Amino acid sequence: MEWQLRVLEVIRRASGQGHPGPLPTFSLVHIVRAIYLIAENPGIGRKRLAATLGLGEGVARTLLSRLKSQGLVETKRSGCFLTDSAQTLYKELMTRMSRPHRLNIKDTWPYSYSVWITVKGAAGLVKMGLEQRDAAIRAGASAAITLVYQDGRLLMPNLSDVSGEYPDFAGKIIEEIRPAEGDVIIIAGANDLQDAENGAIAAALATLGHEEV
């Protein structure tokens, strides 16, 4: 839990939450997405970063300034890069929370985009998935499903055995995501890809104990 608290505290500080002054127009979710994007696209430009995050350029500039003030990002003529400390933060975050991935389940629900994310070894942190669903919807998703992988089966905690009731769906999810024992799988749906990604990350952060996303 110590690493988890440290990582989330760094992210919270970068978001500006808890500091005096007006609230930022971006959230913890945008901070996490920005870290993922810069880590996987070193040298990414501010315009592309803003467009991918769904933020205006002015807001993206403020976000980058916050990341720079926390020693997480450096900007050069060639673009934005994570610092060494931010690379460590990214690696620690990835040990417990994957980045969002696209998923095609249009035959299961009516949303144009579905995104999955895993929270590794966190099955014991999920009650019925309501906290995750609510966090996802607050972040812009239209719907969210929280599943846990235990004993080779997908379960909706305290609700249903998905592998038993919907074997085709469960088989597809397991084959594509390949979860490990005790993983939490969050699937967020929306008619906008950014909303689906934001929802999945928000639900993952809620699972890790940070509700103010």
Task: Give the 3-state secondary structure of the chain.
Answer: CHHHHHHHHHHHHHHCCCCCCCCCCCCHHHHHHHHHHHHHCCCECHHHHHHHHCCCHHHHHHHHHHHHHCCCEEEECCEEEECHHHHHHHHHHHCCECCCEEECCCCCCCCCEEEEEEECCCHHHCCCCHHHHHHHHHCCCCEEEEEEEECCEEEECCCEEHHHHCHHHHHHHHHHHCCCCCCEEEEEEECCHHHHHHHHHHHHHHHCCCCCC
* Domain endpoint, select from 94, 111, 143: 94
Same domain? 62 vs 139? no
In whole angstroms, what separates CA 195 from the centre of its chain?
11
* Domain endpoint, select from 64, 94, 124: 94
CATH code of residue 44: 1.10.10.10
Whole-number pLDDT of residue 103: 95
Q: What is the pLDDT of residues 180-197, one digit of tens each?
A: 999 999 999 999 999 999
Domain-embedded: residue 116: yes
Same domain? 14 vs 61? yes
Q: What is the pLDDT of residues 121-179, one digit of tens each?
A: 999 999 889 999 999 999 999 999 999 999 999 999 888 999 999 999 999 999 999 99
Same domain? 203 vs 147? yes
Same domain? 166 vs 192? yes
Structural domain of 176: 101-207
Same domain? 88 vs 10? yes
Domain-embedded: residue 25: yes
Same domain? 90 vs 111? no
Distance between CA atoms of residues 167 and 8, nearest Å: 36
- 12 vs 164: which has the higher pLDDT: 164
Give me the number of domains the chain comprises: 2
Q: What is the pLDDT of residues 29-43, one digit of tens each?
A: 998 999 999 999 999
Domain-embedded: residue 212: no
